[in-house]
Amino acid sequence: MTVGLPTPRARRSDDHARGVGLPGLLWIPAAGAFALIALPVIGLVLRADWARMPELLLSESALAALRLSLETAAVSTSLCIVFGGPLAAVLARGRLPGLQWLRPIVLLPLVLPPVVGGLALLFLLGRLGLLGRVIDTWFGVTIPFTTAAVVLAQTFVALPFLVVSLEGALRTAGERYEAVAATLGASPWLAFRRVTVPLVLPGLLSGAILAFARCMGEFGATIAFAGSLEGVTRTLPLLVYLERETDTDAAIAISLLIVVVAVAVIALARPRSVDGGN
């Protein structure tokens, strides 16, 4: 199985065009890197019990986890777009002094162990937490160990993926087109909607796919902040972790399911920026 290996979009029309040539030495570490990614997945495929596969995948717990994973990842990705998109725009284009100090903080979820992020969310939004106490007394709502907690945990870990890739797209695009739009009479809001957003759409799409993939694979923050309740907070990765102890075949089957979903997402919404083209 070739996971995420981009197929060339178009064969070079002229096979005589060699360009400047790639140093041959690069092939060795490149093959090593590829093997590190591909071989474990092949191992999973070889180790899987294909006879029991339908039964394992169609089990009630697996289907419930798949559905929960897809739903929460979709909601979390939408939240990333709705909140992370504007954050990326502010980081790339905002002119307030001190904005550059925000970027390292935004990148925190990338370097923080997810379980630490989950604990932090718990301490903030738990029933005795800083914000959680207020929400509990005013609205009678507790967030931890609910599906909402799953979504929050996923959004927390996935936001930087969207913000970083979109901010890069915004910086690359520059503000020349927006300046033209302004001289044509477009207000900043109109220029943002009609010019900026369409121009960075490929960057937004690839950021959203990265964020969705990160949400689908989210484990640490979810288990710390949302627990593992079947149908409520037990997403596919949590189910794998649970089954691993009791039924290795089931764990492998669900793992492969995650791989298939990930590949399907990349293949379905394959933007050029992820495909390596330009």
Partner 1 sequence: MIGPNGAGKSTLLGVLSGLIVPDDGEVRLGERTVTGPGLHVPPHRRGVGLLAQQALLFPHLTAAANVAFGPRAHGVPRKQADARARELLAAVDLAELADRRPARMSGGQQQRVALARAMAPRPALLLLDEPLAALDVDAAPAMRSLLRRMVRDEQQTALLVTHSALDALVLADRVVVLTDGRIVEQGPTRDVLARPRSPFTARIAGLDLVPGTVEADGLRTADGTCVAGRLDGVVAGEPAVAVFPPSAVAVFAEEPKGSPRNVFRVRLAAIEPREDVVRLRAAALPGGPAWVDGLAADVTPTAVADLAAEPGDLLWFAVKATETAIYPAR
Residues that bind partner 1 (CB under 8 A): 176-177, 179-188, 190-191, 194-195, 198-199
Q: How far is the CB of 120 from partner 1 (least distance, A)?
A: 40
- Judged by beta carbon, residue 51 or residue 96, the one nearer partner 1 is 96
Q: How far is the CB of 208 from partner 1 (least distance, A)?
A: 18
Q: How far is the CB of 85 from partner 1 (least distance, A)?
A: 17
The DSSP code sequence of 82-105 is IIIHHHHHHHHH---TTGGGHHHH
Q: How far is the CB of 83 from partner 1 (least distance, A)?
A: 25
- How many other C-beta atoms are found inside a 10 Å radius of the C-beta of residue 54? 10
Whole-number Cα distances in Å, 242 to 40, 74, 229, 251, 273: 20, 23, 11, 8, 36
- Judged by beta carbon, residue 52 or residue 194, the one nearer partner 1 is 194
Query: Are 122 and 144 a contacting pair, CB within 8 Å?
Result: yes
- Judged by beta carbon, residue 16 or residue 176, the one nearer partner 1 is 176
- Judged by beta carbon, residue 197 or residue 267, the one nearer partner 1 is 197
Q: What is the DSSP letter of 112?
A: S
- How many other C-beta atoms are found inside a 10 Å radius of the C-beta of residue 158? 28
Q: How far is the CB of 25 from partner 1 (least distance, A)?
A: 38
- Judged by beta carbon, residue 64 or residue 186, the one nearer partner 1 is 186
- Judged by beta carbon, residue 103 or residue 194, the one nearer partner 1 is 194
Q: Which two tokens stand for residue 224?
A: 């710390």
Q: How far is the CB of 178 from partner 1 (least distance, A)?
A: 10
63: Cβ–Cβ under 8 A, 6 or more apart, which residues?
A: 57
Q: How far apart are CA 144 and CA 136, in angstroms?
A: 11
Q: Which two tokens stand for residue 198?
A: 């369409």
At 132 the three-state DSSP class reads helix
209: Cβ–Cβ under 8 A, 6 or more apart, which residues?
A: 265, 266, 269, 271, 274
- Judged by beta carbon, residue 40 or residue 174, the one nearer partner 1 is 174
Q: How far is the CB of 218 from partner 1 (least distance, A)?
A: 33
